[in-house]
Amino acid sequence: MAEVHTERRERLRARCAAAGIDAALVTRPVNVRWLTGADAVQALLLTRDGVVLAPAEGVHPEQGAAADQPEGVELLRAAPGADAAALLAARCRGAVLGFEAHDLTVLRHHAVAAATGARLTDLEGAVERLRAVKDEDEIAQLRIAAEIGDQALGELLESILVGRTERHLAMELERRMVDHGADGAAYPVRVGSGDHSGRAGHRATDRRVEDGDFVTVALGACYRGYRTSATRTFVVGLAPADWQVELHRQVFEAQRAARESLVAGAAPDSAELAARRVLDAAGLLGEVTGQGIGLEIAEAPRLGLQELGKLDNRVPVTVAVGVHLPGRGGVRIEDTLVVRPSEDGGPELLTITTKELLAL
Amino acid sequence: MAEVHTERRERLRARCAAAGIDAALVTRPVNVRWLTGADAVQALLLTRDGVVLAPAEGVHPEQGAAADQPEGVELLRAAPGADAAALLAARCRGAVLGFEAHDLTVLRHHAVAAATGARLTDLEGAVERLRAVKDEDEIAQLRIAAEIGDQALGELLESILVGRTERHLAMELERRMVDHGADGAAYPVRVGSGDHSGRAGHRATDRRVEDGDFVTVALGACYRGYRTSATRTFVVGLAPADWQVELHRQVFEAQRAARESLVAGAAPDSAELAARRVLDAAGLLGEVTGQGIGLEIAEAPRLGLQELGKLDNRVPVTVAVGVHLPGRGGVRIEDTLVVRPSEDGGPELLTITTKELLAL
């Protein structure tokens, strides 16, 4: 557990103190990881002056969790099968115990309530909000994750695509990302060809890539827990059709406008508004999506039209624009970038692989 | 949605009626899938005379969920972002609404409680208990899943292993399972070589396989949602050492004893007791584990020493025995089999790939 995790816990402690919360019981795995840096911890209790960690089942308390255990960090010794959250709650000495109502199930909440004399109150996503702004170490991991995805995609594009199934191409990309040092894929790689191209969330099928197809690939690597995502659309064959060139250009322009809007201080709806202006002018109906990315592929903040507030510096986000023409296919382009102040040159693009319309 | 799902819902309805529950709100994804056969449903409300399905976000109600929608099945039309569980709860006309306290978070439970006039009561794992006994269609899927895992392992063993990393071997096995028709791996394939062999839950590392190593491979395919698991241990090199031959024989005997005990009507602790007798006689400390398997790699029933009751016919289970000698490695052997009555020949082995000590 490095200093950075001590500092993160300090920030959570300050938030809790400001909200009148004496101790925080954190159970959501991704939040536990962010606060401890350890995979092998299943829950933690953050008190005013220390922290108690519950090792994951099957992990010996001596192992993994905290070989370089700093002062104030205590390990819970729990019998297998016991609910760690309840055991931690029993250690709360304060009057008000914060918990994660969006993670703890009703069953576990019962056990927690029975184990503590403290009043339980929802932390209301406090850890997720702290996680939105990344430190430079986290951004460095994201840069590596993005580079791995770029490499895997670049290699695939040098091979023959015609005749291979979407599923095969997806598997190969996942393997290549691992070969380049990824923990794994950030999410199942999506490959959509022909009529499947240009859609968000399309799952790879046994359809074989044909000459003249649009092919949309969405992929991202997970590197030391940090995930990125990029989507690109190509044409298979020597010469793209005119409609393909035109559609690709329009989606590219819309996504570029969205991307460039993402400077520190911008409103969360700026990306969607910018993309819609381009799509509307072209008379296209499209899908514009965006959100934070880091330990999760979709985390705070959201970039939709209903969102309030302002974008902070050092917030990594994805921004995607897709247009699908039923029966023909479509184009989707997505990047991961980091919100930066305009005086520093604006958003930092992490997924730098080309967005040109390649004919393969 | 086929007849089999209607029949499963009928069984849940009968359980609820017997417990004085008027309607059941099912939110746990694997339970929803078992009751509907659909991937694209996120929750369902089972009433006395019908069922309301909430399509997953991003799925148009007309799509997927129920093209061949039988009578009494209704689709909820929800605005994106709305909590489907709360919308379903609002449709409950009865006085007592059962919900899944081990799945629903405190936050969603609040929304559900606010949306319904019914009294909420825990279903207490009713769906999981129904799922433990499989129908012959489910067992047929498990047979295919097991065969895919066997094929992938058989192919790998024909290739050169020395010098390759555990991680590479694991990836190759996952790819081969997909090539043979799996949806994917049932869980990340585990490969442990040398000192890593013989351990449950070892994650593949960058260690390269060396001549003379024990290599333990744990793998399973997922086929149409159904998962199996098998673990085998091999020696790399022409001639296994005497201690390797002996340890393998002892673990094999212990696992065979465990396996053969799993007849319908047996106590859930019979497998562990049988394996421990063999291990104790050999003076070995080992790990014996077992549990139900199906849509999940670990589901009801558990086969531990504290479990009560009797094993039912048509319950697929895994049974594993492992012995690890620190600094040297070890042997782990695991199978997936189906509990059958002894008059029908006893347990049906699904993972039929050889358990002999192969020297590769």
Query: Which residues of chain B neighbour A178 with C-beta distances below 8 Å?
Result: 167, 171
Among B58, B106, B178, beta carbon nearest to A106: B106
Record: contact B175-A178, CB cut-off 8 A: no
Closest chain A residue by Cα to residue B172: A175
- Residues in A closer than 8 angstroms to B27, CB to CB, are none
One domain, residues B122 and B150:
no
Residues A280 and A155 in one domain: yes
Interatomic CA distance for residues B194 and B216, integer angstroms: 9
Q: Looking at the structure, do residues A116 and A167 belong to the same domain, yes or no? A: no
CATH of the domain at A155: 3.90.230.10
Residues A148 and A251 in one domain: yes
B66: domain CATH number is 3.40.350.10
pLDDT in 10s for each residue of chain B, 360 residues: 688 999 999 999 999 999 999 999 999 999 999 999 988 899 999 999 899 999 887 655 444 444 456 677 899 987 767 789 999 999 999 899 999 999 999 999 999 999 999 999 999 999 999 999 999 999 999 999 999 999 999 999 999 899 999 999 999 999 999 999 999 999 999 999 999 999 988 889 999 999 999 999 999 999 999 999 999 999 998 789 999 999 999 999 999 999 999 999 999 999 999 999 999 999 999 999 999 999 999 999 999 888 889 999 999 999 999 999 999 999 999 999 999 999 999 999 999 998 888 888
Q: Which of A111, A131, A151 is the last residue of a domain?
A: A131
Domain boundary among A114, A131, A148: A131
Return the residue of B nearest to A125 by Cα.
B107
Say yes or no for a CB contact (<8 Å) between B105 and A110.
Answer: no
pTM: 0.86
pLDDT band at A7 (very low <50, low <70, confident <90, very high): very high
**CB-based contact B34:B1 (threshold 8 Å):** no
Is 70 exceeded by the pLDDT of residue A64?
A: no
Q: How far apart, in Å, do the first and last CA atoms of chain B sit?
A: 47
Distance between A175 CA and the closest CA of chain B, angstroms:
7
- Rounded to whole angstroms, the Cα distance separating A320 from B123 reads 41
State which residues form the domain around A105: 3-131
Q: What's the average model confidence in pLDDT over A330-354? A: 96
State what percent of residues in chain A have pLDDT above 70.
95
Per-residue pLDDT, A70: 66
Q: Which of A34-43, A258-267, B55-64, B201-210 has the lowest mean pLDDT?
A: B55-64
Name every chain B residue with its beta carbon within 8 A of the beta carbon of A105: 101-106
**Contact B203/B189 with Cβ under 8 angstroms?**
no
Contact A110 B101 (CB under 8 A): yes
Say if residue A80 is exposed, middle or buried (CB neighbours under 10 Å; 0-12, 13-18, 19+).
exposed
Same domain membership, residue A318 and residue A220: yes
Cα(A45)–Cα(A21) distance, rounded to whole angstroms?
Answer: 12
- Cβ contact B268:B308 at 8 Å: yes
Question: CB distance B104–A109 less than 8 Å?
Answer: no
Residues 6+ apart with CB under 8 A from B17: B48
Question: In terms of CA atoms, which chain A residue is nearest residue B120?
Answer: A106
A113 and A144 in one domain? no
Computed from CA positions of residues A162, A165, A167, A172, in that sequence, does the dihedral angle turn out positive or negative? negative
pLDDT of residue A356: 86
Residue A304 shares a structural domain with residue A176: yes
Domain edge (last residue) among B131, B157, B173: B131
In the three-class reduction of DSSP (H, G, I as helix; E, B as strand; rest coil), residue B355 is classed as coil
Whether residues B13 and B127 fall in one domain: yes
* A58 found inside a domain: yes
A255, A222, A248: which is closest to A152 by C-alpha? A222
Query: What kind and span of H or E run contains A191?
Result: strand A190-193
At A58 the pLDDT is: 64
User: A240 with A178, same domain?
Assistant: yes
Asked if residue B354 is part of any domain, the answer here is: no
Residues B99 and B162 in one domain: no
In this complex, do A104 and B105 lie within 8 Å of one another by their Cβ atoms?
yes
pLDDT in tens, A171-225: 999 999 999 999 999 999 999 999 999 998 888 999 999 999 999 999 999 999 9
Per the CB < 8 A criterion, the answer to whether A26 and A112 are in contact is no
Mean pLDDT taken over chain B: 93
Residue in B58, B105, B171 closest to A102 by CB: B105
Contact (CB<8Å) A101/B107: yes
Note whether B204 and B255 are same-domain residues.
yes
CA distances from B193 to A22, B237, B324 (A): 47, 13, 12
- A79 with A197, same domain: the answer is no
Nearest to B104 among A58, A106, A200 (CB): A106
Type of residue found at A325? L
Question: What is the domain count for chain B?
Answer: 2
Q: Is A356 within a domain?
A: no
Domain-embedded: residue B360 = no
C-alpha to C-alpha distances, B125 to A150, A151, B311, B339, nearest whole angstrom = 45, 46, 18, 21
> What value does the mean pLDDT of chain A take?
93
Chain A contact residues (CB < 8 Å to B): 58, 99, 101-107, 109-110, 122, 167, 171, 175, 178, 184, 200-201
